[in-house]
A and B are shown apart, each in its own frame.
Chain A
Amino acid sequence: MRAPLATGLILIAGFTAAQELPKAELKKRLKDDAHSSWIYDDLSAAFAEAKKTGKPILAVFRCVP
């Protein structure tokens, strides 16, 4: 049972990844000129960076456009 389940999960992950635009491309399409120091639309990356550095997180939610 494990192999089909794992295959299924990989397929789902692959499908989701295929649907999502690379963040740099999303930023470009949105014509969002936010400074390059922002982690762009990636909360997981922000949590990982905060764990590494010990800094708090500032998450800004903005509808663009």
Chain B
Amino acid sequence: MDGQFARREDVGLALVLDRFVAVRVVQAWGLDLAKFQFDWDLTWAAVFLNADGTIYGRYGTRRAHENADQEISFEGFRYALEGALEIHSRYPGNAQELAGKQASKPRWPVPESMPALKDRPNVAPANGTRAGCVHCHQVHEGEVWSLRKSKSDIPDRLLWSFPMPDTVGLSLDPAEGAVVRKSELAAKEAGFEVGDRIRRFGGQPILSIADVQWVLQFAGDGGSVEAEVERKKQIVPLKLSLKGGWRRAGDYTWRSLAWSLRHRLAGTGPLKPSPSSPRRVEGMKEATMQLEVVKLPPDWVKDRNLSAAAELKDGDVIIAVDGRTDLKREADFFAYLLQEKPAGSSVKLKVKRGPKEIEAVIKLP
């Protein structure tokens, strides 16, 4: 989609585009984080804003590493563009309703000021190569690792970031702004129905799925979000209740961040739930932890955890961590290491290697 859009191949979209000052940004070096915040793991993201910096909305959603364009479309993007123009036509009279769309105060003003990024060889103005550029996904990684470096807590919001609306039971149509195509779980309990168009969420005007994600990103545990949907030409108010730990129903291991967690914490490649492991065949309960080391990182990965890499092998199945067997998903495993084990501490793994069970102790950065 990016190429077609950048080359203005869709005439209708190009006409809408002419009503904007359009800027294409290809690096995160020097990016003002007090102004620009969005889901950093997208391959393509758009922000609509006023010349005074007021954000009107965001566009761009992704749910997996594969099929990065699955949740975006020309139709949906055009809807968002037209919505942004409508908001602009009413500005500044509508400034109050836009307050929640503004970026939160960043701990670091620009990506290159993050302690974890400072020593990276690519942290410099873009030079036209992939290795010579601060990538947007590094902003997310930089924040997580800088917090760890400064011994600060890493909240769920930073791991399970920009939750897909599905996490609360809302499946939204990428060809529309934010139209419900399926409602279940908390969304169903709140009264969302198929065909509802979400007009407001958390008090903010909604142009896209990304705008819904923005509200969810800052929604607390155990709180609620007020919504207004358009249903049969009527505006219907709804209230979405969020239970404690709600965002953990999602997954973050498709994000680039996960690679640095694998390499730096466990010294491994992906850890996959292991349905084919011998223990499962022997009748181990379905719910038991079984994370299989699929592949160890190659030697050129400089920041891999060498102590961990020396302990673990391809095909190992991790079946307990510090005596815990409830960390069944890779996301839960890494959240435990990041959020509950301080830098410099060790973690004890029980590992199934072939027919044997061994213990591995790894030191965490």
Q: Is B96 among interface residues, defined by CB-CB distance under 8 A?
A: no
Enumerate chain A residues within 8 angstroms of B126, measured Cβ to Cβ: 21, 26, 30, 41
Please tell me if B63 contacts chain A, counting CB pairs below 8 Å: no
User: Which residues from B are CB-within-8-Å of A47?
Assistant: 51, 53
Which residues of A, 19-38, contact B by the 8 Å Cβ criterion?
Answer: 19-21, 25-26, 28-30, 32-35, 37-38
With CB as the reference atom, state the residue of chain A lying closest to B28: A61
**Distance A33 CA – B7 CA, assembled complex (angstroms):** 7
Contact check, B135 vs A56: say whether CB atoms are below 8 A apart: no
B interface, CB within 8 angstroms of A: 2-3, 5-8, 17-28, 31-32, 36, 38, 42-51, 53, 56, 81, 84-85, 88, 124-130, 133, 135-137
CA distance A27 to B85 in the complex (A): 28
CB contact between A56 and one of B44, B85, B129, B137 (< 8 Å): that residue: B85
Contact A50 B2 (CB under 8 A): no
Q: Known contacts A38-B22, A47-B53, A59-B23; can you find 15 more A-B pairs with CB under 8 A? A: A32-B6, A34-B6, A35-B8, A41-B24, A43-B25, A49-B21, A55-B88, A56-B20, A57-B20, A57-B22, A58-B47, A60-B22, A61-B45, A62-B26, A64-B26
B125 contacts A60, CB within 8 Å?
A: no
Return chain A residues, CB-CB under 8 Å to B23.
38-43, 45-46, 57-60
Can you list 20 A-B pairs with a CB-CB distance of less than 8 A? A16-B125, A26-B126, A28-B128, A29-B129, A35-B8, A37-B22, A38-B22, A41-B25, A41-B26, A41-B126, A43-B25, A47-B53, A56-B48, A56-B56, A58-B81, A60-B44, A60-B46, A62-B24, A62-B25, A63-B137
* A50 pairs with B51, CB closer than 8 A: yes
**Partner-B contacts on A (CB < 8 A):** 16, 19-21, 25-26, 28-30, 32-35, 37-43, 45-47, 49-51, 53-65
A44 to chain B, nearest CB (A): 10
Question: Once the chains bind, are B25 and A56 in contact (CB under 8 Å)?
Answer: no
Main secondary structure of the interface of A (DSSP, over half): mixed
State whether A55 touches B6 (Cβ < 8 A): no
Determine how close the nearest CB of chain A comes to the CB of B20; give it in whole angstroms.
4
Select from chain B the residue with minimum beta-carbon distance to A25.
B128
User: With a CB–CB cut-off of 8 A, which chain A residues contact B42?
Assistant: 61
Which residues of the other chain, A, contact B47 by a CB distance below 8 angstroms?
57-59, 61
A16 to B48, CA, bound (A): 28
Output the nearest chain B residue to A27 by Cβ-Cβ distance: B26
**In the complex, what distance in Å separates the CA atom of A16 from the CA atom of B112?**
13
Q: A38-B23, A43-B25 are in contact. Are A29 and B128 (CB under 8 A)?
A: yes
Which B residues lie within 8 Å of A55 (CB)?
19-21, 88
Chain B residue nearest in CB terms to A42: B23
| Contacting residue for B46 out of A25, A34, A40, A61, CB 8 A | A61
Which residues of chain A are within 8 angstroms of B8 by Cβ–Cβ distance? 35, 37
Question: What's the Cα separation between A59 and B24 when bound, in Å?
Answer: 6
The residue that B25 contacts in the complex, of A28, A53, A60, with Cβ under 8 A, is A60
Give the CA-CA distance A30 to B241 in the complex, in Å: 46
A28 CB contacts on chain B under 8 angstroms: 128
Task: Report the separation of the CA atoms of residues A65 and B337 in the bound assembly, to the nearest whole angstrom.
Answer: 33
For A28, A38, A51, A65, which residue has the most chain B Cβ atoms within 10 angstroms? A38
Please tell me if the beta carbons of B7 and A58 are within 8 angstroms of each other in the complex: no
A33 to chain B, nearest CB (A): 6
Select one of B26, B27, B51 contacting A51, CB under 8 A: B51
CB distance from B235 to the nearest CB of A (A): 25
**Given the complex of chains A and B, what is the CA–CA distance between A1 and B17 in angstroms?**
49
